[in-house]
Amino acid sequence: MSELQKSQKNAVALGTKRGLELEIQQGDIEIPRAQLLQKMSEIPEGCKPGQIVNSITKQALPEEFVPVMAFWNFIRFNPRRADMPGFNPDFEPGALIYRTTTPTDEQRKECEFGEQGETPIAQRQICFLCHFIGNKIPLVISFGKTSFKAGKRLLSLTKFLEGDVWANKYKLSSESKKGPEGEYFIFKTTPSGKTDEQTMVFAEATYNAFKQMDILGKTHEEE
């Protein structure tokens, strides 16, 4: 193994940093999420709606990223009012009812539109564990609801472009849309060329470090 490979492998190893000699299991790690700021979000100082930040540090993320691993997320929250479709009185308003990567047939059905075009009461998300260029912390991007189309495009590109999923770079940005409640922002993904050797080594090391981990259960959830 070259010195470059050794240094990149150590960059994502758990429990090897000086000052953190305690035993750290993968389950002890919380993975940040790429958070797209909306007008109703709590806006960190120096940021603005439409910007994409680390959900834990609240720092703005670089635009370019390399996907490391893809997975599905099926999630359902209880509506915030009892008169809304799908409200479950066994849960508090707004509470998480379930979140899983292995849904039952009924849970899959809850993510589909009804026969009369009724809005699904749950959602299916395309998620990617990613490495943002210049940022050593791996993050998860979740494409759901209005951003699901951008996730499908990224999934298609990673499927058909040559090489491992981390062989190509992409840009993550946002675009403005208008809805009944006003302006909102959705994710936008575009190809950004081939990944350089150093980043590919780091991305592969990240994949090896996290491939057996329940990423969904360890991903940070914004309040």
Query: pLDDT tens digits for 103-113?
Result: 999 999 999 98
The token duo for 170 is 């992409």
Q: Could you state, in chain order, the average pLDDT of each consecutive group of 10 residues for the chain (223 residues)? A: 48 62 72 92 91 94 96 92 93 92 92 87 94 90 93 95 95 92 93 94 90 75 60
Length reported for the chain: 223
Alpha-carbon torsion 188, 193, 195, 196, what sign?
negative
8 Å CB contact between 101 and 71: yes
Q: Which structural domain range is residue 119 located in?
A: 3-15+30-211
Q: Give the total number of structural domains in the chain.
A: 1
8 Å CB contact between 122 and 110: yes
The token duo for 185 is 């922002």
Question: Is 216 a member of any domain?
Answer: no
pLDDT given at position 10: 47
Question: Is 21 a member of any domain?
Answer: no
* Dihedral angle of Cα 43, 48, 51, 52, to the nearest 10 degrees: -20
pLDDT given at position 29: 75
pTM of the entire structure?
0.83
Question: Is 220 a member of any domain?
Answer: no
Q: In 102-186, which residue ranges form alpha helices assigned H by DSSP?
A: 105-109, 148-160
Question: Is 150 a member of any domain?
Answer: yes
Question: Is 63 a member of any domain?
Answer: yes
Alpha-carbon torsion 20, 213, 54, 74, what sign?
negative
CA pair distance 169, 53, nearest whole angstrom? 19
CA pair distance 92, 88, nearest whole angstrom? 8
pLDDT given at position 4: 46
CA pair distance 178, 195, nearest whole angstrom? 35
Q: Which helix (H) or strand (E) holds 74?
A: strand 64-77
Question: Is 218 a member of any domain?
Answer: no
Return the number of other C-beta atoms located less than 10 Å from residue 61's C-beta. Answer: 24
pLDDT given at position 27: 65
Question: Is 222 a member of any domain?
Answer: no
